A and B are shown apart, each in its own frame.
Chain A
């Protein structure tokens, strides 16, 4: 009697595959004892999951996660597991985990598991299941990025072989309940799950759009993609409403929470939900662009001229049939194409004379630093400043007033005019600027004094400049920014200027239009 398990073979195979996806993580744990050095202190499976997490969260529409960035962000986690070890070791461990998740050692850079299927017709067959967790993909400018595969996302989320949409709804309902009951740790988990789902939608859409750009017919724009877009739009609309509600709820939880741990948890959740909202917005933008993109590509591709005379259709008649063949048969076709399609090479015959020279030539040194950076050809920009360096110095010298001796603008202008006819205007401008002094900046920079000007109502009597005859002086700034910057000028303890500053600085107004030169 043939073997009968009583389970559906499909479901069993699915679960076997799902189980296989976790194997690389267990493998990390198992293999850490074989490493040269004492690495058992690290929880490798945890680091592996964290790495997959980091890649999943970082990857968006156009690119994946940067290799180095993932290592850098993984390192704190490694360090937390063994704080007494050296940072170099932490980095080594982080790299080891990442490289093992990519499986750098194998030629496919992937994993293979063997599982069995049983059918009455074929009997028991052992099969290979190939999968990847992190894959390396080329960026637009040749960089290499990491993307988490669907398998990895499924392992990570723990919802193996479930429908994206239903899992999404379940996560939402769960989240609402959790927040109502104030169970933030679990709420956070659910929110993160929701985010992975959004990433999955985005990834599916990205692939469909990329394929459309290449070949409109390769993608089912009649049903599959419009359905996906509708579904995703509904999802975005739904999520957006939910998340805003959630955000309000958690913000309140954050502000009302007494316990610091609770408060921190809520604050983190706010961050996550905000990130979710950002991702939804991004997804929505892409969804809106999808339709026009399809129509443009359709115009461009489908309405191209019909062929005038038939020729060999390399894709339809060769490449696609070859890809469908078993690899053993396909190889005879590709071998033949290779033999006849690569052209010719003139055989090289070696002369002993050349050979000796060739062998004695030192190897060309590889450029580690790349090509030399060309010296930039700099063009001197014309000096269009109105005042010369010397004039600026003269004005600064004139306005370098001792803190205990403020002066009237009129006097300063007269003195300036005596030395240089152009100078008064510059002095006036500086004085006007000082009427609204950048106190905050000066404080941040740690300046000890600041030029200030106040209007006490006196009218300036000057041939060139009109407006208020400001009182210009130097205010000393307290070293400690005790109060907020606005109060500083009112309370300059070491500044004798407060004798004149009876009005608060921000009230010191003067008419800017009057401040313009009469000319």
Chain B
């Protein structure tokens, strides 16, 4: 690939490309060198922690993608062929690609956590941890919609937050007078919140590591995984690790995960109605950065 790249006699992106973009009718046919460049851009996209701002070549290719529709189409075709979905190509997020569901790049729950493949409760908790992290990273609808929003979250914050939600549901169940204890032979009918509330938050281990089966352990694992995916960046060690979100994470949640999970929920016959107003306001957890206004720098018009 690099050989092909070096033999190309055209600078990337040449002034000719920009001209061609305006007049597609007269465009020269795509060469193997163009395909190589397109594949190169997709390869950059597969390194989620790499940003165009950090790599000259990456930045050039992103610019070419934006300016040359034919090159853009080529890139999208290469990505699609590999089993990737292009979410966005921009200087801030780079080539944000994600795995299509049956792609070789997709993450499988069984590879993610060993216990998750056998224990249905663990499988649920691992999935819920990811959902809760997203909910805390983008607490209000406009946070998810606003491109410039940067969310902050901490491992302990996520756990405390879900526990709080569980406690509310427990109180509601009590007020309704219904018996929330599940029947012995039907574990699948147990309310989801009970599974989380029941699991211990943390626990002492012999080697002073996090107890992997505790909820903080599960959230911690999810957060570490998202860091590797280039979705979160570690800010400090406070509250079990404090993180901020990247543009890629916002795209992933907004354009992929959120809608996919919503459609699944709708299939179950649950139609959560929203009037657009938030049901949640940002958590504090001693993070003055999330004060109103400061967390949403551009919420004007």
Interface size class of B (residues with CB under 8 A): 35 or more
| B265 touches which of A114, A318, A326, A345 (Cβ 8 Å) | A318
Known contacts A109-B214, A325-B192, A343-B107; is-contact A314 B183 (Cβ 8 Å): no
Q: How far is the CB of B205 from chain A (nearest CB, A)?
A: 9
Q: How far is the CB of A206 from chain B (nearest CB, A)?
A: 12
A sample of 14 cross-chain residue pairs with beta-carbon separation below 8 angstroms, ordered by A number, consists of A108-B200, A115-B181, A207-B167, A215-B280, A323-B169, A324-B193, A326-B191, A327-B188, A327-B189, A334-B261, A336-B261, A336-B264, A337-B127, A344-B97
Contact B139 A67, beta carbon cutoff 8 Å? no
Q: A142-B240, A312-B254 are in contact. List 20 more A-B contacts (CB 8 A).
A: A109-B200, A114-B184, A132-B200, A136-B203, A307-B277, A315-B135, A318-B135, A318-B262, A320-B272, A320-B279, A322-B131, A322-B192, A324-B192, A326-B188, A327-B124, A333-B127, A334-B123, A338-B109, A343-B98, A346-B46
| A213 touches which of B106, B192, B285 (Cβ 8 Å) | B285
Contact A340 B261, beta carbon cutoff 8 Å? yes
At the interface, yes or no: A442 with Cβ under 8 Å from chain B? Answer: no
Known contacts A314-B135, A342-B229, A347-B105; is-contact A308 B299 (Cβ 8 Å): yes
Contact with A along B219-245 (1 / 0, CB 8 A): 000000110011100000101100000
Known contacts A130-B194, A314-B253; is-contact A321 B265 (Cβ 8 Å): yes
Contact B292 A300, beta carbon cutoff 8 Å? yes
Q: How far is the CB of A228 from chain B (nearest CB, A)?
A: 13
Contact residues in A for B38 (Cβ distance below 8 Å): none
A360 to B291, CA, bound (A): 53
Contact B203 A102, beta carbon cutoff 8 Å? yes
Contact residues in A for B90 (Cβ distance below 8 Å): none
| A311 touches which of B183, B188, B254, B270 (Cβ 8 Å) | B254
Find the B residue at minimum CB distance from A116: B184
A217 to B291, CA, bound (A): 16
The 9 closest A-B pairs by CB, nearest first: A334-B127, A316-B279, A341-B257, A328-B188, A343-B229, A310-B276, A311-B145, A109-B200, A311-B141
Contact with B along A342-363 (1 / 0, CB 8 A): 1111110000000000000000
Contact residues in A for B98 (Cβ distance below 8 Å): 340, 343-344
At the interface, yes or no: B30 with Cβ under 8 Å from chain A? Answer: no
Known contacts A13-B179, A316-B279; is-contact A324 B169 (Cβ 8 Å): yes
At the interface, yes or no: A330 with Cβ under 8 Å from chain B? Answer: yes
Q: How many A residues touch B, CB cutoff 8 Å?
A: 84
A305 to B140, CA, bound (A): 11
Of the listed stretches A121-129, A168-176, A391-399, A487-495, name the one at the interface; the rest are far from the partner chain: A121-129
Contact residues in A for B230 (Cβ distance below 8 Å): 343
| B184 touches which of A127, A300, A328, A335 (Cβ 8 Å) | A127
The B-contacting residues of A in range 449-482, CB under 8 angstroms, are none
At the interface, yes or no: B252 with Cβ under 8 Å from chain A? Answer: yes
Contact A337 B109, beta carbon cutoff 8 Å? no
| A136 touches which of B104, B201, B239, B262 (Cβ 8 Å) | B201
Contact B184 A128, beta carbon cutoff 8 Å? yes
Contact residues in A for B130 (Cβ distance below 8 Å): 334, 337-338, 341-342
Contact A303 B292, beta carbon cutoff 8 Å? yes
Of the listed stretches B1-9, B58-66, B158-166, name the one at the interface; the rest are far from the partner chain: B158-166
| B107 touches which of A107, A216, A306, A342 (Cβ 8 Å) | A342
Known contacts A215-B164, A310-B141, A335-B109; is-contact A318 B279 (Cβ 8 Å): no
| B229 touches which of A130, A319, A344 (Cβ 8 Å) | A344
Q: How far is the CB of B171 from chain A (nearest CB, A)?
A: 9
Contact residues in A for B278 (Cβ distance below 8 Å): 307, 313, 315-316
Contact residues in A for B33 (Cβ distance below 8 Å): none
Q: How far is the CB of B46 from chain A (nearest CB, A)?
A: 6
Q: How far is the CB of B60 from chain A (nearest CB, A)?
A: 23
Q: How far is the CB of A333 from chain B (nearest CB, A)?
A: 5
A132 to B106, CA, bound (A): 38
| B192 touches which of A125, A136, A315, A330 (Cβ 8 Å) | A330
A305 to B179, CA, bound (A): 40
Contact A129 B181, beta carbon cutoff 8 Å? yes
Contact B183 A125, beta carbon cutoff 8 Å? yes
- What residues of chain A have their CB less than 8 Å away from a CB belonging to chain B? 13, 67, 102, 104, 107-110, 114-115, 117, 125-130, 132, 135-138, 140, 142, 144, 207, 210-211, 213-218, 297, 300-347, 366
Known contacts A318-B258, A337-B130, A346-B46; is-contact A308 B142 (Cβ 8 Å): yes
Contact B164 A214, beta carbon cutoff 8 Å? yes
Contact residues in B for A346 (Cβ distance below 8 Å): 46, 105
At the interface, yes or no: B204 with Cβ under 8 Å from chain A? Answer: yes
| B142 touches which of A129, A311, A340, A344 (Cβ 8 Å) | A311
At the interface, yes or no: B168 with Cβ under 8 Å from chain A? Answer: yes
A127 to B297, CA, bound (A): 51
A341 to B230, CA, bound (A): 12
Q: How far is the CB of B202 from chain A (nearest CB, A)?
A: 5
The A-contacting residues of B in range 80-123, CB under 8 angstroms, are 84, 97-99, 101, 103-107, 109, 112, 119-123
Contact residues in A for B124 (Cβ distance below 8 Å): 327, 330-331, 334
A445 to B132, CA, bound (A): 62
Contact A313 B145, beta carbon cutoff 8 Å? no
Contact B202 A137, beta carbon cutoff 8 Å? yes
| B131 touches which of A135, A214, A316, A337 (Cβ 8 Å) | A337
Contact residues in B for A314 (Cβ distance below 8 Å): 131, 134-135, 138-139, 144, 253, 258
Find the B residue at minimum CB distance from A145: B202
Contact B196 A323, beta carbon cutoff 8 Å? yes
Q: How far is the CB of B281 from chain A (nearest CB, A)?
A: 4
Contact A312 B259, beta carbon cutoff 8 Å? yes
The A-contacting residues of B in range 6-54, CB under 8 angstroms, are 46, 48
A301 to B168, CA, bound (A): 19
Q: How far is the CB of A504 from chain B (nearest CB, A)?
A: 59
Known contacts A136-B200, A305-B299; is-contact A325 B270 (Cβ 8 Å): yes
Contact residues in B for A312 (Cβ distance below 8 Å): 141, 144, 254, 258-259, 262
At the interface, yes or no: B73 with Cβ under 8 Å from chain A? Answer: no
A346 to B229, CA, bound (A): 10
Contact residues in A for B160 (Cβ distance below 8 Å): 210, 214
Contact B187 A308, beta carbon cutoff 8 Å? no
